[in-house]
Copies of this chain bind each other. A is one copy, B any other.
Amino acid sequence: MKQNRKGLLLVVSGPAGVGKGTIDTALIERNPDMKMSISATTRNPRPGEIDGVHYFFKSSEEFERMIENDEFLEYMHVFNTNYYGTPRLFVEEELKSGHDVILEIDVQGAMKIRDSYPDAVLIFIAPPSMSELKARLIGRGTETADAVEKRYATAFDEMRYMDRYDYIVVNNVVDVAVCRVEAIIEAEKCRTVRSEALINRLLGGSEKP
């Protein structure tokens, strides 16, 4: 029996290399009622990326028209070149029908969601240690040492936002981290602040002494 019918908006952030994508994919696979929000972007698709699966690929004109129509929960303009944003409609419809929605977004986007949607639950995925994070960035083996250093500096900057999240989940063993996120979702649904309907049903009925 569900205690709470409305879905949860779950914001998941964390530095590159921390494994948040792996965690989110596992969550979706294990919980068929959970939905992943798909971002929109004006950047070109990379090889293998499919429109409507990895991103909604938009022209700048389309994206700007969507901004004007208030169709984004949050968006940003990166380096004055590409737009990235979270389409509002998908998220709101899924939440209304009781599905939990995961937004995997960066710290800037997360802060915007926190301001515009205070009901959202913000989870920061952290590495077991910074040296482990560096090792994972190097381990990808696809980048020069310079590029790795740059990514590490960006990762460290993102880590500074950690304390503005509701929860911090260390990703040491993926399965453990996934279970912790699932526990957070279950616990949040029992929070008194989300239980107004339950309280009214119990105390407002005809069963007064």
Q: Which residues of A contact B (CB under 8 A)?
A: 1, 3, 123-124, 126-131, 134, 149, 152-153, 156, 159-160, 162-170, 172-173, 176, 179-180, 182-184, 186-188, 190-192, 195, 198-199, 201-203, 205, 207-209
Contacts and interface: CB of A to CB of B under 8 A. Distances in A.
Given A162-B202, A198-B126, A202-B126, A170 B131 contact: no
B162 A191 contact: no
A15 to B, nearest CB: 10
Contacts of A195: 168
Given A180-B190, A190-B184, A207 B168 contact: no
A122 to B, nearest CB: 9
Given A168-B190, A183-B186, 11 more contacts: A1-B170, A1-B172, A3-B170, A126-B198, A129-B202, A163-B192, A163-B199, A168-B195, A180-B190, A182-B183, A184-B187
Contacts of A156: 207-209
| Prevailing SS type, chain A contact patch | helix
Given A183-B186, A187-B183, A202-B162, A176 B1 contact: yes
Contacts of A176: 1
B170 A203 contact: no
Given A162-B202, A202-B127, A209 B1 contact: no
A209 B167 contact: no
B163 A130 contact: no
Given A130-B205, A165-B192, A176-B1, A198 B183 contact: no
B149 A209 contact: yes
Nearest to A184: B187
